[in-house]
Amino acid sequence: YGREDFGWSLELKQLAAKHWNITQWRDKQLDVMNASLDNRDTFVLMPTGGGKSLCYQLPALIGTGITLVISPLLSLIRDQAFHLEEAGIGVGMLTSNTTPEETKRIMDDMLGPVAPKASKKGSKNAALPKTNTQDTLNHSSRVLKLVYVTPEKISKSKRFMNHLEKVYANGRLARIVVDECHCCSNLGHDFRPDYKKLGILRVLFPNSPIMALTATAPPNVIESVLSTLNMGPIGRSNNGTLLFDTPLFRPNLAYKVMTRPSANQETFQFLANYIRTHHRENSGILYCLSKKDTHVFATGIAEASGGHIATSAYHADIEDDKKELIHEYWRNGRIQVVCATIAFGLGINHPNVRFVIHACMSKSLEGYYQESGRAGRDGLPADCLLLYRDQDASRLSTLCVTEPEGLTNVYSMIRYAQDVRSCRHQLFDVHFSKHLSTRLPPCGFCDNCVLAGQDIETDDVRTDVRALCLLLDRLKDAKDRVTLNKLVEAWRGIGASRSIARLVRDEYHTEVASKRANKDDYERIINHLIVGGYLREDFHFTAYSTLAYIVNGPRSSPFMTKQSPKSLPSVKVEFGR
Ligand code: ADP
Ligand code: ZN
């Protein structure tokens, strides 16, 4: 579909120049627009800031009929409607804030300018629809072209749906757009129950093509979105959905991972220095794992900076008025750093965010990519820093174990955080674009690229794996269980589990215990072994908490032996530089 010989090609070009001053398409934009105008279902996977909106806003101007856009948040809808209005395009929003008069006007306009006779639309892949040259005149007189609604309108408003059926019967529902479509899937983050109900659209309006857009969706999320929306599988067949994706490369984002100091006070000081040194004048986001942490960090950083850095906490329980105010102050620079949970997200359209710092890992690499991707939407250089400690791993896995794919997601995040060798952009590329045949070259500016020449401290831990596996096997027989902390203590031969430690040493005569310099190294090894499948987390739920015990994993059996270490498979752990 990347061709310029369709009936609408010239008009597309002219409209892009007229309304947006755009003279060149980015990546797959033209393909998407052509496919949609050819009445095909499309799935658009492009990075944040990649230019997804144009893919449906421009086709909306071609021909008669309206483009219905479903978008998750009022602030997003307002933002888009405002920009379209500015560009001189007929746009309507139907939200909880729309007045009855305005609602009536939009609803009437949706039906069309004159009493239309019911037109029968051909089958979905009929000959190309003719462009309506008469309609071109209307563009300047603000004929309604796009209508934005929240998903609740589809799932809850019978009146609106009845009306939409009339619009459709009049042949005026040109296409349906589901923005942030990953919200359909409970496999990802950001799941919204109202998105689950959007499957009704295909049932009621089988001939209106659907365009689903998102910045992040691994293959299983794509599948789940397609099935929720009742769209066909990815493929070129007649009822198939065409997938358009662009490599997720954001050349202006410098990714890095650093070890978070163990004490909070040190972390605040580190962050205050980092921000004062690299981002004195810039605004940014600090993502925290819990609501409580947002307050702790907001206060901590402000104090550590001697009051130079204006911060604010932001999370789901902050009152709406205050949220609005934080958004406003942050946009105009009165607040420099918003310390937030992921509740601070969907509505952000601030183009010059210069840094996004994560005080703790996200629950998945998808989440991390999406959150950090809020930096640098204007295309200028920006930093994405992740602060990591191995202790965070078990905290996150107990938090996520009940979510679908929760552990798989957490482990992909841990792999990213522990990786001291691979280009960060390549890691994203491999994770998100497995199906693409071309791979990105190393970026040259992420931490792992910049420090590529330096020695990496690596150790073969096969004897440690053996000791741990045998120990866990014995504990299982004794019906004893250990958490990460207990296991580390036992292994080091300190604390309550001294007897277990002795057992490790005496029985297998390996010098595993107390060999390493610090506690962090033990945790790093155990996490590596969990993520790699040598060990496994076994979760126990009580009314008050979830406990993660460590047991042998699927790859432990070759290590359940007392043979010489040489016969064991090698297990390399990288500790950093
Ligand atoms: P997304 O929805 O994918 O996050 P947007 O649609 O908001 O991204 O687009 C980001 C910015 O890029 C907008 O300012 C938009 O006007 C601009 N843009 C989109 N397409 C083009 C293009 N072909 N050429 C130049 N700028 C573009
Ligand atoms: Zn790199």
Interval between CA 240 and ligand 1 midpoint (Å): 27
Asked whether residue 261 carries a pLDDT value surpassing 90, the answer given is yes
Q: Which ligand is nearest to the CA of 56?
A: 1
pLDDT computed for residue 123 by the predictor:
44
Q: Kindly report the pTM of this predicted structure.
A: 0.70
Nearest to 322 by CA among 311, 313, 332, 310: 313
The answer to ipTM > 0.90 is yes
Strands (E) located in 393-486: 457-460
Interval between CA 350 and ligand 1 midpoint (Å): 13
What residues contact 536, with CB distance under 8 A and at least 6 apart?
530, 550, 551, 552, 553, 554
Interval between CA 117 and ligand 1 midpoint (Å): 37
CA distances from 71 to 94, 181, 225, 309 (A): 11, 9, 15, 34
Structural element, H or E, at residue 214? strand 210-214
Taking the CA atoms of 164, 170, 172 and 178 in sequence, report the sign of the dihedral they define.
positive
Interval between CA 450 and ligand 2 midpoint (Å): 7
Q: How many CB atoms lie within 10 A of CB 406?
A: 18
* Per-residue model confidence as pLDDT tens digits over 100-119: 999 999 999 999 865 544 44
pLDDT computed for residue 499 by the predictor:
67
pLDDT computed for residue 191 by the predictor:
85
Q: Which ligand is nearest to the CA of 444?
A: 2
More confident site: 1 or 211: 211
* Per-residue model confidence as pLDDT tens digits over 8-36: 999 999 999 999 999 889 878 999 999 99
Nearest CA to ligand 1 atom 17: 51
Contact of 334 with 358, CB cutoff 8 Å: no
Q: How many CB atoms lie within 10 A of CB 568?
A: 16
Nearest CA to ligand 1 atom 10: 49
Please state, in angstroms and rounded to a whole number, the distance separating the CA atoms of residues 563 and 508.
10
CA-48 nearest atom, ligand 1? 4
Interval between CA 144 and ligand 2 midpoint (Å): 46
Give the rounded percent of residues in the chain with a pLDDT score beyond 70: 89
More confident site: 318 or 501: 318
Nearest CA to ligand 1 atom 12: 51
pLDDT computed for residue 377 by the predictor:
79
Asked whether residue 249 carries a pLDDT value surpassing 90, the answer given is no
pLDDT computed for residue 88 by the predictor:
92
Contact of 106 with 98, CB cutoff 8 Å: yes
* Per-residue model confidence as pLDDT tens digits over 263-311: 999 999 999 999 999 999 999 999 999 999 999 999 999 999 999 999 9
Q: How many CB atoms lie within 10 A of CB 317?
A: 10
Interval between CA 441 and ligand 2 midpoint (Å): 8
CA-55 nearest atom, ligand 1? 6
pLDDT computed for residue 549 by the predictor:
94
Interval between CA 25 and ligand 1 midpoint (Å): 10
Asked whether residue 128 carries a pLDDT value surpassing 50, the answer given is no
Please state, in angstroms and rounded to a whole number, the distance separating the CA atoms of residues 206 and 232.
12
DSSP 483: B
Nearest CA to ligand 1 atom 24: 22
Collapsing DSSP to helix, strand or coil, 102 comes out as helix
* Per-residue model confidence as pLDDT tens digits over 417-472: 999 999 999 999 888 776 665 678 899 999 999 999 899 989 898 888 888 888 88
Interval between CA 79 and ligand 1 midpoint (Å): 13
Longest dimension (CA), the chain: 91
What is the number of residues in the chain?
577
- Phi first, then psi: give them for residue 536, nearest 5 degrees: -140, 150
pLDDT computed for residue 341 by the predictor:
95
Asked whether residue 125 carries a pLDDT value surpassing 60, the answer given is no
* Per-residue model confidence as pLDDT tens digits over 450-462: 999 899 989 898 8
Q: Which ligand is nearest to the CA of 251?
A: 2
The C-alpha torsion from 90 through 94 and 98 to 101, rounded to 10°, is 70
* Per-residue model confidence as pLDDT tens digits over 506-525: 655 555 544 676 788 889 99
Contact of 75 with 347, CB cutoff 8 Å: yes
CA-50 nearest atom, ligand 1? 3
Nearest CA to ligand 1 atom 13: 51
Q: How confident is the model at residue 492 (pLDDT cuts 50, 70, 90)?
A: confident
Sheet holding 210-214, edge to edge: 90-94, 144-149, 66-70, 173-178, 210-214, 41-45, 241-245
Residue located via tokens 């071109």: 136
- Mean of the per-residue pLDDT values of the chain: 87
Nearest CA to ligand 1 atom 15: 51
pLDDT computed for residue 544 by the predictor:
84
Q: For 28-187, where are the alpha helices, taking DSSP H only? A: 29-37, 52-57, 74-86, 100-111, 133-140, 151-156, 158-169
Q: Which residues line ligand 1 (CB under 6 A)?
A: 20, 22, 24-26, 29, 46, 48-54
pLDDT computed for residue 34 by the predictor:
96
* Per-residue model confidence as pLDDT tens digits over 40-88: 999 998 877 778 999 999 999 998 899 999 999 888 898 899 889 999 9
By mean pLDDT, which of 134-138, 176-180, 488-492 is the weakest? 134-138
Asked whether residue 340 carries a pLDDT value surpassing 60, the answer given is yes
Q: Which of 21, 22, 252 to mutate to test the pocket of ligand 1 (most atoms within 8 A of CB)?
A: 22
Q: How confident is the model at residue 121 (pLDDT cuts 50, 70, 90)?
A: very low
* Per-residue model confidence as pLDDT tens digits over 174-223: 999 999 999 999 886 678 899 999 999 999 999 999 999 998 777 788 99
